[in-house]
Amino acid sequence: MYRCLVLAGALCASALPAAAQMQRAFPQDALRGDIVIGIPPVISVNGRSAQLAPGARIRDLNNMLALSASISGARFTAHYTIDTSGQVRDVWILRPDEIAKQPWPTTPEQAQAWAFDPTAQTWTKR
């Protein structure tokens, strides 16, 4: 019984790196920006002050939830969404392979002018 548990744990641990590299599906309204986490809920998006919405979710490189207080002072490139009150609702910290996907809109105006392919997770300029 004990050996089965050890084997199951080892198999689960070996599957984690593969699962972490799965393609994440970002919503069409996600913008790309450089984010600096200040003293929560204050953050900086592309050098401008912003605020995390109540209940905002930050996903790390492995798509796990990260608490804003635990990454205070961190700087990273991310995709993020804005709620109706103008606060940052969701943040996905990007891996290098995700950053390499170019272009990605940084403003709502760009997102409206470009075409999004949700399957390939790519944008094309019209």
More confident call, 77 vs 4: 77
| pLDDT of 84 strictly over 60 | yes
Model confidence over 27-75: pLDDT tens digits?
Answer: 999 999 999 999 999 999 999 999 999 999 999 999 999 999 999 999 9
| pLDDT of 11 strictly over 90 | no
Q: What band does 9 get if pLDDT is binned at 50, 70 and 90? A: low
Which amino acid is residue 97, in one-letter code? Answer: D
